A and B are shown apart, each in its own frame.
Chain A
């Protein structure tokens, strides 16, 4: 088989690249080891986790409803049905993508691709020759060295299969994935303990906002051990015993390892194409997603941090356009992060400390959600909207939100930074009342001294 463009991996980056390239008139083959398009994101990542987190949210809301005068009986959880709901949702979305691929005449090929030369791969014995290739093979969860293999030690993929609801669940790693798993299983009734090497959760995010989330999760029954490493793990028929660097032990029925993800670039025999990998199997690319070999492009998790679907999608479209002869590049480092916890936690751009280190005269302004009518009226708990800005110019440099729907609200702050907006731009834009989005304008007004809601 011979094609103008081969895309290896059909995750959110790979399929976006393939479809964009097809729209630009290229003849495209898309290869994936799965039998459905969508990659980790659709099959065992973003989407299934959100389907399950929605279930968790419903349980939690039902519980809170008693405070509003409506009391439900204790929930009965039919795990098979929950799983089936998630699986049908995933099926619907991946099936939809298959249809989109057919409409665009993208040839989808199942199998694992391995490079056999700079212009050819072999997929399950079949050779595919190409003029250009986009490597989009993503990442897999890191498994810790020296850990035993045991059915009771899960990675995030296994955890999303919802095998059971453990009584005592320990999650190693309090990053976004660890926190989301904690949110899910705590709602389903597990007693969750999180162990994290760093001194706080999400060290890159705003500390004050992280505290709000931390408090809420503790209220949900999560126990945190920060600054703690797991030094030993023993499995027995009674359970799993973790020994920590603080000489304590934690007993668990199930352990989820959520210590990060590793690029899959080492699995496609990339050396045959004339490429070398950086530390952690990362492929180095320029702003056009081009590797050191002119006709080979790489996008998404294989190109390093942050390993996020929306970054891969943008890189994928740009790579497709570059291959089609357009003069484009990814000209932004602003990649939003969202933790779908309860409450949600979302952030973008600089924190105050990072902005100061970068040379800005940075300050921050915040608005507490306990003063937001909309938040309280819709059963929201504590939350915070915080903007980071450059004091002399008023330009927005970053922002973080913690609270209900924070992930949705973040888009306004992201657009503000991309468009070079100032505090005044946000404050003078009329936000509907009562909404959660008002808190962004309020935080800006607070910095300008024109706030009347506090």
Chain B
């Protein structure tokens, strides 16, 4: 047959001649093209829609954001004393006053003081968009995947109100009843493994935010006070940030600020 009618569009043909792949399939697919059943029994479970959505976000995050994780620890003896002291009272009011509520408040205050963390880059990377609101996203682990509901205007809310809202949002998330307006638009997000375990981890930034704060369970550690080791309750914090926007010194100052609020919780009131 005389080859008069070409295959594919002119640009596709040019790219394929130049040695580029012209298929729209993602690169590196070959790594997953494995027949696992040759090694033993397997079953196939399709990824849920929700999982596919968050997979896309996570992939974008790791590929597009040059991120660094900075670790710090806050002394939280006072905070825990204060929180436990209020426990009975709060239970009577039907509120579960968690460390997370204090952390949300501390983060909100730190964001007000260091607004650089409350920004997003424009799509072309040419402009930094400063947000004049403080919304905190909370990553919630559910049976169907990871979702991030948002506490709006956390800077204007009291700790008890925040604690109540966390409970409402977490329950809604687990029941798959989150509304669209309860997600998105966060200043920063918190991802907490505090009630599960671990020592530290490297969370990845939830785009288009510029940082995320990870938390692992508090531990009692021996701390040298100059003359002796004394037990101290400490909360590990892991801050991952977009290095295009934030430098390491900013990150260290930012986590120090959060630690200060957690160490001296009375500061959260002023």
- Inside 8 A of B92's CB, which chain A residues have their CB? none
In the complex, A290 has a CB within 8 A of chain B: no
In the complex, A327 has a CB within 8 A of chain B: yes
* Contact assessment for A417 and B5 in the assembled complex, using a CB-CB cutoff below 8 Å: yes
In the complex, A1 has a CB within 8 A of chain B: no
Q: A395 to chain B: closest CB distance in Å?
A: 7
- Inside 8 A of A326's CB, which chain B residues have their CB? 18
* Contact assessment for B17 and A328 in the assembled complex, using a CB-CB cutoff below 8 Å: yes
- Cα separation A417 to B10 with both chains bound (whole Å): 10
Closest A residue, CB atoms, query B7? A420
- Cα separation A327 to B15 with both chains bound (whole Å): 9
Q: A136 to chain B: closest CB distance in Å?
A: 22
Q: B109 to chain A: closest CB distance in Å?
A: 56
| Residue in B1, B3, B4, B8 whose beta carbon sits within 8 Å of that of A420 in the complex | B8
- Cα separation A418 to B5 with both chains bound (whole Å): 7
Q: Given A359-B1, A397-B5 in contact, is the A327-B10 Cβ separation under 8 Å?
A: no
In the complex, B26 has a CB within 8 A of chain A: no
In the complex, A358 has a CB within 8 A of chain B: yes
* Contact assessment for B17 and A334 in the assembled complex, using a CB-CB cutoff below 8 Å: no
Q: Given A333-B3, A358-B2, A359-B1 in contact, is the A327-B8 Cβ separation under 8 Å?
A: no
- Cα separation A101 to B250 with both chains bound (whole Å): 53
Q: A355 to chain B: closest CB distance in Å?
A: 8
- Inside 8 A of A333's CB, which chain B residues have their CB? 3-4, 6
* Contact assessment for A332 and B10 in the assembled complex, using a CB-CB cutoff below 8 Å: yes
- Cα separation A332 to B244 with both chains bound (whole Å): 45
* Contact assessment for B17 and A350 in the assembled complex, using a CB-CB cutoff below 8 Å: no
| Residue in B1, B7, B9 whose beta carbon sits within 8 Å of that of A358 in the complex | B1
| Residue in B4, B8, B13 whose beta carbon sits within 8 Å of that of A349 in the complex | B4
In the complex, B19 has a CB within 8 A of chain A: yes
Q: A323 to chain B: closest CB distance in Å?
A: 15
Considering only residues 10-36 of chain B, those with a C-beta below 8 Å from chain A are 10, 13-14, 17-19
- Inside 8 A of A358's CB, which chain B residues have their CB? 1-2, 4
In the complex, A149 has a CB within 8 A of chain B: no
- Inside 8 A of B18's CB, which chain A residues have their CB? 326-328
In the complex, A331 has a CB within 8 A of chain B: yes
- Inside 8 A of B1's CB, which chain A residues have their CB? 358-360
- Inside 8 A of A357's CB, which chain B residues have their CB? 2
Q: Mark A306-328, 1 if CB is under 8 A from B, else 0.
A: 00000000000000000000111
- Inside 8 A of B13's CB, which chain A residues have their CB? 331
Q: B9 to chain A: closest CB distance in Å?
A: 5
- Cα separation A327 to B16 with both chains bound (whole Å): 10
Closest B residue, CB atoms, query A358? B2
- Cα separation A417 to B8 with both chains bound (whole Å): 10
Considering only residues 315-368 of chain A, those with a C-beta below 8 Å from chain B are 326-329, 331-334, 349-350, 354, 357-360
Q: A334 to chain B: closest CB distance in Å?
A: 7
* Contact assessment for B9 and A418 in the assembled complex, using a CB-CB cutoff below 8 Å: yes
| Residue in A331, A419, A420 whose beta carbon sits within 8 Å of that of B14 in the complex | A331
- Inside 8 A of A349's CB, which chain B residues have their CB? 4-5
| Residue in B2, B6, B8, B9 whose beta carbon sits within 8 Å of that of A334 in the complex | B6
Considering only residues 384-420 of chain A, those with a C-beta below 8 Å from chain B are 395, 397, 417-420
Q: List 18 A-B contacts (CB under 8 A).
A: A331-B10, A331-B13, A332-B10, A333-B4, A334-B6, A349-B4, A350-B4, A350-B5, A354-B4, A357-B2, A359-B1, A360-B1, A395-B5, A397-B4, A418-B6, A419-B9, A420-B7, A420-B9
Given A326-B18, A328-B17, A350-B4; 7 other pairs, CB 8 A cutoff: A328-B18, A331-B14, A359-B1, A360-B1, A417-B5, A418-B6, A420-B8
